Every structure is written in structure tokens, then in C-alpha cells.
Amino acid sequence: MRSQLYLLASRLFNQPTAEHLAVLQHLMTELLQTTSSEVPWRETLIALKPQLKYEENRETEYSRLFILAFPNTTVQPFGSYWLENDQCLMGRSTLEVKKMMAEHGIEIAEDTGLLPDHIVSELEFMALLASQDNEKALQTQQQLLEQHLALWIPRFIAALRAANPASYYQLAADFLEQLIESEIRSIK
């Protein structure tokens, strides 16, 4: 289940193409069927579900928020932007994530245009690790969560909210926040 939740989060922050949204719908249905009514994000998911229809406007909103914002500043979806002193991409923190991936025999697929610490990559990596039942995968999850996601995702979410996003991304931000907070609690 954790794996699906991370996958959902990862997909929510990739470009909302028709293809991605189809996958999101499928995931959402599955998650809503299986999650208990007590999980903190259930209401968020219920609110999000009707929005999982393709709209060109949403791709524009995605581009505005995460790629080439004007007149607002881009909400940079890269861990290193938030974690490095000089906001430099591909910094030490990126290389750490890259190394973690390599240790699990994983790398960023060619032609995706993604960096290892792009939000989509890190969340999908968490999803992969969560789907594996071994000690090493558990350790890496803990490391990625504590040393990366927990440090930059809250700042990223704050910047995203400040950019006055469309409701789809408000809900995506809520979901991501709820998921990461819950993960941090459970690790502690």
C-alpha cells in the first residue's frame, strides 16, 4: 500500500498528460478501495478523484508551477535546489540519491529528462523500495526519507502553496504533506 501511495504522489507531480492521468485514476480507485477511513489523506484523495480528467489548462499550470514560471518564481522540484547552499542542481545531495539508486541497481531511465532528485524520481524510488521486503530496502527508505524528503518537501510544499496553485495542485500538496508527515511519524 505504501508503494502505491508513493507512486500516486510521484505521478501527481509529473506532467498531467492524458496518459499519466489514466494511470492516476487506476491507482486512485485501487487506493480508495483498500484504504481505511482513518488514514489522514483519505478526504484529500476523495476530493482529488473527480479532478483526474485530462485538461490542457492543467498542463499549463504544471509548466507554470514547476518549469518556467512567469510572473511567479518556479517552485523548483529538485531536492538539491532546496538542500544545497548555492541552489546548484546535481549537487552533493543529488549524488547521494543517485548513489542510493545505484546500490539498488537502479538509475534514471534515459530520455525521461529527469534528474535523480527530481520529486518524481525520489518518490518513485520510495515506491520501488516500499514494494521490496528486505532490510536494505528499509534502510534506504529511512535514509531517503530522513535525509532528503523530510528536509526539502515541506519547503517545496510551502513554496507551492505560495504560488497560489490550481485546486488539483493544492490537493496534491495536501496529499504529499500528509503522506510525508505520516511516514516520518511511523519511522519515529
Partner 1 sequence: MSTHNNFDPSRRAFLGATVGGTALSIAGLPSQALARINAPHPHEKLKETTEVFGFCDMCYWGCGLKIRSRNGLAMKIEGNPEHPNNWGVVCAKGNSGIMVAYAPNRLKYPMKRVGERGAGEWKRISWDEALDTVAKELKKIKEKYGPQALAMIGHGTWEKPYHRLAHAFGTPNTTSPVFGLCCGPRGLSNAVVTGRNLTGNETIDLENCKYFLMMGRNITESLHNGETLGWLNGVANGAKVVYFDPRYTITASKADEYYAIRPLTDHAFLLAMIHVVVNEALYDKKFVAEQTVGFEELKQRVQKYTPEWAASITDVPADIIPRIAREMAAKAPSVFVYAPRRLTRSANDLGTGLSITILNTLFGVWDRKGGIFSSIKFEVPEIDLPKFEHAHIAKRIETGGDFDYSGDVPQAHFVDEQGKIQRADGAGVMGRWPLANAQYGLTNEMWKAMAEQKPYPVKMLITAGGNGFLNSTDYKTIRQALMNLDFYVAADVIPNEMNMYADIILPEASYLERYDDLQIGGGKEGYVAVRMPAMKPLHDTRDAWTICKQIADRADLGQYFPHDSIKELIEERLKKAGHSLAEIEKKGILKVPADPKENFRGEQGIPSVFPTPSGKAELVPSILKMMKFDDTLDYVEQVRPDEDEFHFTFARIGFHTHARTQDNIWTAEFMPENLLWIHPDAANKRGIKDGDLVKVTVRDGRSEQIKVKVTLRIRKDTVFMVHGYGHFDKRMTTAYKKGASDSNLASYAQDPRVGSISMGQSLVKVEKV
Rounded to the nearest 5°, which phi and psi values hold at 45? -65, -40
DSSP state of 87: -
Give least dist CB 180 to partner 1, A: 18
CB 130 within 8 A of CB 2: yes
Choice from 25, 73, 142, 164 touching partner 1 (CB under 8 A): 73
Rounded to the nearest 5°, which phi and psi values hold at 118? -65, 145
Choice from 33, 38, 50, 109 touching partner 1 (CB under 8 A): 109
Of residues 27 and 171, the one with the C-beta less far from partner 1: 27
Rounded CA separation 75/63 (Å): 10
CB 11 within 8 A of CB 24: yes
Choice from 74, 143, 170, 182 touching partner 1 (CB under 8 A): 74
106 binds partner 1 (CB under 8 A): yes
133 binds partner 1 (CB under 8 A): no
Q: Build a one-symbol-per-residue string for 83-102: x at contacts with partner 1 by CB under 8 A, - elsewhere.
A: ---xxxxxx---x--xx-xx
Q: Which three cell numbers stand for residue 57?
A: 489548462
Give least dist CB 124 to partner 1, A: 5
Of residues 41 and 58, the one with the C-beta less far from partner 1: 58
35 binds partner 1 (CB under 8 A): no
Q: Which three cell numbers stand for residue 92?
A: 552533493
Residue 45 buriedness (CB in 10 A; 0-12 / 13-18 / 19+): buried
- DSSP-assigned beta bridge partners for residue 118: 78
Q: What is the contact surface with partner 1 in residues (CB under 8 A)?
A: 3-4, 7, 10-11, 14-15, 20, 23, 26-27, 56, 59-60, 62-64, 67-74, 76, 78, 81, 86-91, 95, 98-99, 101-102, 105-115, 118, 120-121, 124-125, 127-128, 131
